Amino acid sequence: DAGVTQSPTHLIKTRGQQVTLRCSPKSGHDTVSWYQQALGQGPQFIFQYYEEEERQRGNFPDRFSGHQFPNYSSELNVNALLLGDSALYLCASKFGDQPQHFGDGTRLSIL
């Protein structure tokens, strides 16, 4: 039973570019959340998707957007990349009130 899978594992971009990160939830899970984790810090909640809609959003600018597909997979898009967007981006999935399961993340570096 595959857990949460994220792609790519690493990505290097330059300032001003746009990036798309992908997440496949654990089998049976229908809710996907995205987190940003800067080096040495705890994860920060970006947003959560359920039934293909954004249900909650953290304190992130509109440059951060997402999508959930009918198969529950999700994408995180970031436009106009800034140096400060360099971080580990984590996807987590769950079903109902069960604890979230995390993927291993995408390491995004902005040059």
Partner 1 sequence: SQQGEEDPQALSIQEGENATMNCSYKTSINNLQWYRQNSGRGLVHLILIRSNEREKHSGRLRVTLDTSKKSSSLLITASRAADTASYFCATVRKAAGNKLTFGGGTRVLVKP
Strands 10-13 and 64-68: unpaired
How many beta carbons lie within 10 A of that of residue 98, not counting itself?
11
Distance CA 4, CA 21 (A): 13
The yes or no reply on residue 58 touching partner 1 (CB under 8 A) is: yes
Confirm or reject binding of residue 67 to partner 1 (CB under 8 A): no
Binding mask 8-47 for partner 1 (x = CB under 8 A): -------------------------x-x-----xxxxx--
Q: Which amino acid is at 31?
A: T
DSSP state of 60: -
Listed ranges 14-22, 50-58, 61-69, 76-84: which one lies at the site for partner 1 (CB under 8 A)? 50-58
State the nearest-atom distance from the C-beta of 83 to partner 1, in Å.
21
The type of residue at 39 is L
Query: Of the ranges 20-28, 65-73, 74-82, 86-94, which one interacts with partner 1 (CB under 8 A)?
Result: 86-94
Q: State the minimum distance, in angstroms, from the CB of residue 111 to partner 1.
A: 20
Residue 76: phi, psi to the nearest 5? -115, 125
Query: Which DSSP state fits 86?
Result: -
Could you list the residues that contact partner 1 (CB under 8 A)? 4, 33, 35, 41-45, 48, 55-56, 58, 88, 90, 92, 97, 99-105, 107
